[in-house]
Structure 1
Amino acid sequence: MTEYFQQVVDELEVQLKDLTYEEDNFIVCYEKAISTILKEIVGLKKYILEKGFMNEQEEILFFKRLKPVLLSKLIYYNTIYKIETKKPFGGDKTIKKYLHNELAKLKRYFDNNLDFYKYYRTNSTYLDHKYFLRGKHDIKLSLDTFYFEADHYFSTSHDYKVAKILANDLIQVYLEDQLYNTNRSKKQVPAILNWTGSKTALTELIYALHSQGAFDNGNADIKVVAKTFETVFNVDLGDFYHTFMELKSRKINRTKFIDSLRDALIRKMDELDEQ
């Protein structure tokens, strides 16, 4: 089961990364990502319902550690999609207020589920038989209303809550990055060039240069490097760390852009040699 699940996740990462390369419109990219993840979840559900579990330990593993990884991706992309499509028009003050309100929602969810956060973060196991076995829910253990409407053949009382924890971590990074961009000083060096390649490609390039120690003798912080590129090339990379993690997870051609740079440079040199 674990091997099958990892294969599903690896294939999904490739699909999501391909969407990033293909779509310049991030709203359309999010829509397609949501649809892609849903298809994988449907396939995983069919597999689990057909194969079942060997024992309770395997069932707990699936609903505590495996399914939430996939479900968290759906929650993340769906939440970011809603945040972007509902973002108000206005100046920096309006945008910052909106983003702070979204961060406050994450904080409220954390506060309302503090006990479970502690349980999960400390790798506790003494309530796993209630949290992560199907049909073992306890109404006293802070259930989300979502659970009562879920398919109980493919859900436990708290697997969705784990997925929310994983997704909220990424959503917080995304929102804080948006706030950072909004707060950037307008007195910075103006952009003289516009980056017209994909944001994923630029992220790949930035991490390659940083890994090589090309800035400040290798002492430059990756976030500072990324913000400098955003300013100089007039581009918003969004959650570039999450983009890099997706690149890292890709099993096929993880350095697609850098490889294409090398090929393009060699072609250029060959053309000049022929002149």
Structure 2
Amino acid sequence: MVLTDTHSHLYLGQFDEDRQQVMIRCDEHGVKRIFLPNIDLESVPAMNKLVASNPDRFFPMMGLHPCSVDAGFEDVLATMREELSTQRYCAVGEIGIDMYWDKTTLPLQQEAFRIQVGWAKELALPIVIHARDSFDELFDLLDELNDDRLRGVFHCFTGSVEQAKRVLDYGGFMLGIGGVVTFKNSGLDHVVKELPLDKLVLETDAPYLAPHPHRGKRNESSYVSIVAQKVADLHETTLERIAEITTANSFELFKM
């Protein structure tokens, strides 16, 4: 059985003391591929160092997280665009809109999103979307920007069935399902039960959003097996089938 974690910040300092042990647990749970979303310029060296340690296992992205967008973001994006030219990156991400932490930067976030979507189209890369309290804002942007060159994933999807259908109606998008699906009162279990398996990929968002029974503790990529089992239970199928389908979906998403 092979599982894929399509969204993990395993390069962050929270793993510096025991990263090797974390990877041993990944081996024990069949997690063979881990996709690494970027946050800002400061996170790039640590991310690429991790990739260099095992380039057949770790796959980096390049993008400016919406919570890192502030005045002067254009200079940051210019440097990121140069970095993308090295062709070592599998996606533009994570990018998006975050209306939870700071609504005042919305115009800057919107412009940063437009610019980075342009990169994705130019380079034929998928985008990895961060959407926190911002479905309406992102749908407005995607209505404006969507065409047959745009594809990607809504990472850590926590929306409704109707919002999921709207995402899928754009034609080139998948939905990333993480630990929230295991939370008792999230309601996401009822949504995931209604979603087509061929449009789902699995993720952890480690070190954040650990699934039950680890909720509130540090998340890690091996826990994607818990997410996979929950999705299997919801769809009344086997863990092995979910692993096979979602790993194939990740290959399609990232054109592996």
Q: TM-score range by the shorter chain?
A: under 0.3
Larger Rg: 1
- Between Structure 1 and Structure 2, the one with more helix by share is 1
Please identify which structure carries the higher strand content. 2
TM-score (norm 2): 0.28
TM-score of the superposition, structure 1-length normalised? 0.26
